[in-house]
């Protein structure tokens, strides 16, 4: 059994309302899982190797619950467009390139390196429609020792010819990946990924819902991101009450664990369904600003008990940095607060941190916190160059790192109790 103790200034959010802080304490880990936090090392742990991180912050690794791996080369491109023209002009042509495995490997290696560099220890990722490219991405994640769900994208309508799949083949490829990868790694798992309703025929959605149930595989997709998109779904499916009801009819809305990205223009019925089925909302504020989509009313989701995490949504979002996404989420919530005559309260810093750690991490299980039994997914932060430190609480230091720090301050990453080396 591998056991270890990390010693330093420990900060995490067991709930969204407050940080828990421990100055100069030991975080004791057995078999990759947290046993407890102690001021002095108890007798029974005295022979555990101690990693000394004096005056450094030890925090949970970041969790990004929505990003598109093959869009990585488009980072920062085309962001003067709205969603649908952006997809057609920039995104689909880029995603069509991933039948070229040499190209795919170059992009995916760089992406995984950047996730590691920026302290994202868990991510929930869209691949492209390509089966072999998706397997390659999963294998690279397995090699990296980072935690991930990876989904082969399914699309059989309303796209460019290179991305329009034969429905049966799309289902067969998805099933092959599920069978091959469901038990291949404890850290990297498949997730069923209908791109969004406009990209998927009812036959495809039904087939994917059947696979989700048969193999008990989670689902990810997009929901109510943009007003033109919502109208489009209405015109494609006038027989359904709303956008979410289409997914729900095909067992793609919480029948197995589900994440829906964006969720800006939801009806009350959709919110009720999300709450009832415990469907996660992936809040992606950078993307929502960049594509002029709107501001998600995140407070409404939290008040209703809908699970929420944060997503970089690369490349609708322009940065993989989760601290940057946290800042954007706080800023967006302040604009929503003003827009609603101060009804929907802004996010606090502990809430934003919770969303980027335990909030999204709960999709993986006991991930994103340092409570007993949680996986030790952690970052060690050297914030000594970020300014005057005297008299600052651990909470203040963490807040400052989130606003003005960057990946140069991250000196170690751990996943499941093991130090994660720089990916090759
Ligand atoms: N809807 C989407 N929204 C987004 O932000 N990025 C995408 O790639 C996408 N596809 C459908």
pLDDT digits (tens, 9 = 90+) for 127-140: 999 999 999 999 99
End position of a domain, from candidates 361, 377, 405: 361
In a domain, residue 67? The reply is yes
pLDDT of residue 203: 98
Give yes or no: residues 126 and 151 share one domain. Answer: yes
Q: Whose CA is nearest to atom 4 of ligand 1?
A: 316
> Is 349 domain-assigned?
yes
CATH of the domain at 190: 3.20.20.140
29 and 150, same structural domain?
Answer: no
Ligand 1 atom with the shortest distance to the CA of 196: 11
DSSP-assigned beta bridge partners for residue 123: 64, 148
Residues 152 and 11 in one domain: no
pLDDT band at 388 (very low <50, low <70, confident <90, very high): confident
Return the residue whose CA atom lies nearest to atom 5 of ligand 1.
316
> 95: Cβ below 6 Å to ligand 1?
no
pLDDT at 98: 98
Give the mean model confidence (pLDDT) for residues 112-121.
98
Domain edge (last residue) among 322, 345, 361: 361
pLDDT band at 1 (very low <50, low <70, confident <90, very high): low
Q: Could you tell me if the CB of 318 is within 6 A of ligand 1?
A: no
Contact 352, 63 (CB under 8 A): no
Residues spanned by the domain of 379: 4-60+368-419
pTM: 0.98
Query: Is 293 in the same domain as 381?
Result: no
Banded model confidence at residue 354, pLDDT cuts 50, 70, 90: very high
pLDDT of residue 11: 98
Q: Do 213 and 301 belong together in one domain?
A: yes
Q: Are residues 98 and 108 in the same domain?
A: yes
- Mutation to probe ligand 1, out of 69, 225, 233, 243 (largest number of atoms < 8 A from CB): 225
Ligand 1 atom nearest residue 291's Cα: 5
pLDDT digits (tens, 9 = 90+) for 289-339: 999 999 999 999 999 999 999 999 999 999 999 999 999 999 999 999 999
Tell me if residue 301 falls in helix, strand or coil: helix
174 lines ligand 1 (CB under 6 A): no
- What spacing in Å lies between the alpha carbon of 222 and ligand 1's midpoint? 7
* Predicted confidence (pLDDT) at residue 341 exceeds the cutoff of 90: yes
Q: Which of 361, 393, 408 is the last residue of a domain?
A: 361
Average pLDDT over residues 233-245: 98
pLDDT in tens, 22-55: 999 999 999 999 999 999 999 999 999 999 999 9
Same domain, 181 and 233: yes
Per-residue pLDDT tens over the stretch 155-172: 999 999 999 999 999 999
Distance CA 377, CA 268 (A): 36
In a domain, 424, yes or no: no
Mark whether 149 and 165 lie in a shared domain: yes
Does 230 share its domain with 108?
yes
Q: Is 300 in the pocket of ligand 1 (CB under 6 A)?
A: no
Q: Which residue do the tokens 């996404």 mark? A: 325
**Residues 53 and 181 occupy one common structural domain:** no
Longest dimension (CA), the chain: 67
304, 278 contact by CB (below 8 A):
no
Q: Which of 79, 111, 122, 114 is nearest to 286 (CA)?
A: 79
Same domain, 51 and 112: no
Q: Which atom of ligand 1 is nearest to the CA of 91?
A: 8
Looking at this predicted complex, what is its ipTM? 0.98
Same domain, 269 and 281: yes
| Domain-located, residue 411 | yes
- Give the distance (Å) from ligand 1 centre to CA of residue 294: 14
Q: What is the CATH number of the domain that holds 16?
A: 2.30.40.10
Question: Does the Cβ of 196 fall within 6 Å of ligand 1?
Answer: yes
Domain count, the chain: 2
């Amino acid at each position: 059994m591998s056991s270890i103790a990390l010693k330093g200034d420990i900060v995490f959010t067991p709930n969204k309302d407050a940080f828990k802080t421990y100055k100069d304490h030991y975080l004791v880990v057995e078999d990759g899982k947290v046993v407890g936090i102690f001021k002095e090392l108890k007798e029974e742990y005295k022979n555990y190797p101690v990693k000394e991180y004096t005056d450094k912050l030890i925090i949970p690794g970041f969790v990004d619950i929505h990003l598109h791996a093959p869009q990585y080369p488009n980072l920062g491109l085309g962001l003067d467009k709205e969603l649908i023209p952006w997809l057609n002009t920039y995104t689909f042509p880029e995603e069509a390139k991933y039948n070229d495995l040499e190209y795919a490997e170059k992009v995916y290696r760089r992406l995984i390196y950047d996730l590691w560099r920026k302290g994202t220890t868990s991510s929930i990722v869209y691949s492209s429609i390509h089966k072999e490219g998706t397997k390659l991405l999963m294998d690279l994640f397995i090699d990296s020792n980072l935690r991930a769900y990876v989904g082969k994208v399914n699309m059989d309508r309303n796209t460019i010819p290179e991305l329009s799949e034969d429905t049966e083949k799309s289902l067969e490829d998805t099933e092959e990946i599920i069978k091959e990868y469901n038990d291949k790694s404890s850290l990297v798992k498949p997730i069923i990924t209908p791109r969004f309703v406009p990209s998927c025929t009812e036959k495809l959605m039904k087939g994917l819902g059947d696979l989700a149930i048969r193999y008990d595989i989670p689902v990810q997709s997009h929901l109510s991101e943009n007003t033109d998109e919502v109208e489009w779904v209405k015109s494609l499916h006038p027989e359904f009450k709303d956008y979410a009801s289409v997914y729900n009819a095909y067992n793609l809305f919480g029948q197995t664990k589900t994440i829906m990205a964006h969720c800006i223009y939801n009806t009350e019925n959709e919110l009720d369904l999300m709450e009832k089925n415990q469907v996660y909302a992936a809040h992606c504020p950078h993307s929502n600003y960049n594509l002029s989509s709107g501001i998600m009313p995140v407070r409404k989701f939290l008040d209703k008990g809908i699970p929420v995490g944060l997503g970089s949504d690369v490349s609708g979002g322009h940065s993989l940095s989760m601290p940057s996404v946290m800042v954007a989420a706080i800023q967006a919530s302040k604009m929503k607060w003003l827009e609603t005559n101060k009804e929907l309260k802004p996010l606090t810093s502990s809430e934003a941190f919770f969303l980027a750690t335990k909030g999204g991490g709960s999709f993986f299980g006991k991930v994103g916190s340092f409570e007993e039994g949680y996986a030790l997914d952690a970052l060690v932060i050297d914030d000594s160059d970020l300014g005057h430190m005297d008299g600052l609480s651990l909470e203040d230091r963490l807040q400052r790192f989130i606003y003005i720090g960057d990946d140069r301050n991250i000196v170690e990453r751990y996943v499941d109790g093991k130090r994660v080396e720089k990916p090759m």
